[in-house]
Amino acid sequence: MKTKITIAIAAALMTVACAGSEPLSQGSAHANTPSSQGLASETITTTSARQVNTEAPITMTQIMADPDWLGRSPESAYWSWDGRHVLFDRKREGSPQRDRFIRALTEGGNGAVVALSELHQHAYANGVFNADRSLKAYIFERNIFVLSTDTGSVMQLTRDSANKSDVQFLADGRLSYRSGNDFYAVNLANGFTEQLASLQMQDAPKPVKDPADILMQEEIDLIEYNRVQRRIQLERHEDQERLQQENPSLAPKPIYLGRNQQIAEVSLSPAGDRMIVALTEPQTWRGDSDLMPRYVTETGRIENQDVRRRVADAKPVHHTLWLIDIATGEKTELSYASLPGWDEDVLRSVREENYAARGDTYVSERKARAIGVMPRWSAPEGNIIWNQDGSAVALMLRAWDNKDRWIATVDLEGARLNSQHRLHDEAWINRDFNAFNWLPNSQQLWFLSEESNYSHLYVRDVARGTTRQVTSGRYLVDEVTLNHAADTFYFQANKEHPGIFEIYRVPVAGGQVERLTHLEGITSYVLSPDESRLLLTHSSALQPPELYVQTTEPGATVTRLTETVTDEFLAMPWPAPEIVPVPSSHVDDPIYSRVYLPDNFDPNRAEAYPAVVFIHGAGYLQNAHAGWSNYFREFMFHSKLTQQGYVVLDLDFRGSAGYGRDWRTAVYRQMGTPEVEDLVDVVAWMGEHRNVDVERVGTYGGSYGGFLTFMALFNEPGLFKAGAALRPVTDWAHYNTGYTSNILNLPQDDMIAYRRSSPIYFAEGLEDALLISAPMVDANVFFQDSVRLVQRLIELEKENFETAIFPVEDHGFVQPSSWLDQYRRIYKLFEDNLK
């Protein structure tokens, strides 16, 4: 039995219903019950409270037009310094450029564009605070500004064209920053600026020494000019050394890091006395990268573009860690040998299997693995983090094979890494959920980890060597904010349903998790400066993102701030999808899917419905959720299909985001196998539960979705009568390193996984209609992928396929005419084969 429950959102124009045994109100105690992820009885049905013209035709031309006609939603929202305004970006109409908007909480409308002459006064979203939070420093257009959080006044510290980064307040109140490989500190009281350190990527100059050989000695003894020049050189060197030592007005001597190295990461201590530097060999694309020809150019001539290297050409990247004493310039290498597993042969079983397949025997040995600092884009709090006074530092490290992630502190006196946490994964460490930081004025670190299958909060007591778990359950914790008092964590989580993300909080000491928002879609947040309110970016399945505000009290009233969606879009008859947990025949957890039904759907109609299954891209991405989809064109296309009598299903196959580590890594070494098994299950479910004719089902998808379209058509002929593969991967050995090597290892280590996972090896299985849609200047999935597969299909003498090329498009299409042409072809494919 299913009971629909509707939660009203004030002024939001939308409502959401979810299935359960009893009505769920905002004050219900059910809000704090364990997550229902994995319960196949739970279904969400999105509904609309607005008036729409249900007879209005949805046209392909409108769907694929410039998306400005939908509206231009707020992006990257943040609070003003005093919490009285919100600021956000909006796409400029008819242009890819963004404008900055500001809106007072007490005013209506969507705010006003910030004048270009005033942008520098409002660019503090990612700024850093001093110890008492009275000042906030930030960079705008390469220059440094300081905002007073007492008065709102802004002081400009620099006005030049040099790039600057790594702004931070030092423990003594000065402000430091990096320009190139030089580090400076500014005394805000008097403006005095000094260079703290200059890192030079070259060998230290050699001092004047004794003659190098007998010929040099003879020349000095024989020629007076040489003797005089040598004496002058020695005197000049000695004078400069004494001046450097005795005159405090001079900049410190450079710190020489050696040739043929580049800085991967560097971090200055808040005490200003030490640095940690990660060095690596120079990384260049040229030499083992590819060239991509462009045929449509302004010059009328073919132009070549450098593009990424392939995973088959990948070389390990290793960082050498150095602890540097700034005063003396002394460098001490931080060895990885203290990290558990630093020299393990983590691919032993994989290599043994591949060697045996070649008739060889693999001999395992322990040797140092390539290890480095976690990339900054994967560690939102930072990857080298000092405590407030610079007396302690923690680093997040990862193995290049991505089977291990470590959080390590540094014994600053002993120059030694001390492992505080090791996260090992036989598959791969997630690119998400790597936030960590110090708890202020303590020897404790908080961090996120997937070790319990789901991302959760942990606190590590460095002094005691103990770790405790703060949150637990079948849900994901992300977007963590620690309050000023350091006693409460705020975070985003999908605690009540895997497709609904709300805002929660929990005491740092542990205890009850409080649900703060009840918007029933996808909601992210920014805590206000005084920590009394939440700035929310919220969307639902039929409502693009808008801004809201509420207090931090659980279940508080929500006020909507923006209305940027057009009346034209709101008036269209978009069907509200169900979110259905489709039972899996292979694993215990269900396959969550969005299901779109035609108007006046009749489950008992004599003639069963044709259907289309959409396969999302990226692999690790969630699309069967209750929020606005990034696949908004596909959502509108699905709406058109329902008007034409199709049932449409959009699934989160195994490998998708949002469902924990085990669901994510199910595709390890077998991309395309569990996902196609899930496709088989959802097609069977549609036939049994949504009156679908399983002999008239088509599929399509882009990128990873295009890859899976191939795998389904080649390995399960007859499952789909037609499929469209857009910008598709056909051979994973030709894709990039960062994505592919995590899931399939390297081709030289695991060719079994590549052959098992690449459609080009299964092309002989094609029996059903296939459309290949290939952009020609795709720098992500190369056009060559499609070309090689077409040649393979020709050699196999396959007949039922066609190829559409798009000469000016990259991986993400831009031109409305290209979108329109592509989807007209997909629509025709379905009409010709499924009707």
Of residues 113 and 291, more confidence is placed in 113
**Per the structure block, which two tokens stand in for 224?**
């007076």
- pLDDT tens for 690-729 read 999 999 999 999 999 999 999 999 999 999 999 999 999 9
Size of the chain in residues: 835
Alpha-carbon gap, residue 767 to 686, rounded angstroms: 22
- Inter-residue contact 555 to 60 (CB < 8 Å): no
Name the band, by pLDDT with cuts 50, 70 and 90, for residue 223. Answer: confident
Backbone dihedral region for residue 246 (phi beyond 0: left; psi -120 to 50: alpha; all else: beta): alpha
- The secondary structure of residue 734, as a DSSP letter, is G
Residue with tokens 């459309």: 771
pLDDT of residue 285: 56
Task: Give how far Cα 118 sits from Cα of 86, 97, 146, 164, 312, Å.
Answer: 15, 18, 14, 20, 49
pLDDT of residue 25: 28
Q: Is residue 662 predicted with pLDDT exceeding 50?
A: yes
On the CB side of 190, CA atoms within 13 Å amount to: 3
- pLDDT tens for 252-274 read 899 999 999 999 999 999 999 99
The separation between CA 347 and the C-alpha centre of its own chain, rounded to angstroms, equals: 26
- Inter-residue contact 535 to 525 (CB < 8 Å): yes
- The secondary structure of residue 435, as a DSSP letter, is -
Which parts of 179-266 fold into alpha helices (H)? 214-222, 224-246
pLDDT of residue 21: 27
- Average the pLDDT over 546-556 and give the result: 95
Name the band, by pLDDT with cuts 50, 70 and 90, for residue 217. Answer: confident
pLDDT of residue 228: 86
Alpha-carbon gap, residue 496 to 831, rounded angstroms: 39
- pLDDT tens for 40-79 read 446 776 654 455 566 678 999 999 999 999 999 999 999 9
**Bridge partners of 103?**
86
The DSSP line for 613-637 is EEE-SSSS---SSSS--S-HHHHHH
Of residues 305 and 216, more confidence is placed in 305
Q: Is residue 621 predicted with pLDDT exceeding 80?
A: yes
- Average the pLDDT over 498-510 and give the result: 98
Tell me whether residue 208 is exposed, middle or buried, using C-beta atoms within 10 angstroms of its C-beta: 0 to 12, 13 to 18, 19 or more.
Answer: exposed
Q: Is residue 35 predicted with pLDDT exceeding 70?
A: no
Tell me whether residue 557 is exposed, middle or buried, using C-beta atoms within 10 angstroms of its C-beta: 0 to 12, 13 to 18, 19 or more.
Answer: exposed
Name the band, by pLDDT with cuts 50, 70 and 90, for residue 242. Answer: confident
Name the band, by pLDDT with cuts 50, 70 and 90, for residue 243. Answer: confident
Q: Is residue 15 predicted with pLDDT exceeding 70?
A: no
Domains of the chain (ranges, CATH numbers)? 203-256 (no CATH), 595-834 (3.40.50.1820)
Q: Is residue 284 predicted with pLDDT exceeding 90?
A: no
- pLDDT tens for 794-818 read 999 999 999 999 999 999 999 999 9
pLDDT of residue 417: 98
* Whole-number average pLDDT of the chain: 92
Q: Is residue 294 predicted with pLDDT exceeding 50?
A: yes
CA dihedral for 171, 174, 175, 178, sign (positive or negative):
negative
- pLDDT tens for 579-593 read 999 999 999 999 999
Alpha-carbon gap, residue 394 to 418, rounded angstroms: 9
- Inter-residue contact 719 to 697 (CB < 8 Å): yes
Torsion of CA 810, 813, 816, 818, to 10 degrees: 70
pLDDT of residue 750: 97
Percent with pLDDT over 90 in the chain: 84
* Type of residue numbered 318: H
Q: Is residue 30 predicted with pLDDT exceeding 70?
A: no
Name the band, by pLDDT with cuts 50, 70 and 90, for residue 213. Answer: confident
Q: Is residue 31 predicted with pLDDT exceeding 90?
A: no
pLDDT of residue 236: 83
Name the CA radius of gyration of the chain, rounded: 30
Which parts of 536-590 fold into alpha helices (H)? 567-570
Name the band, by pLDDT with cuts 50, 70 and 90, for residue 230. Answer: confident
Q: At what angle do helices 224-246 and 214-222 cross, to 10 degrees?
A: 100
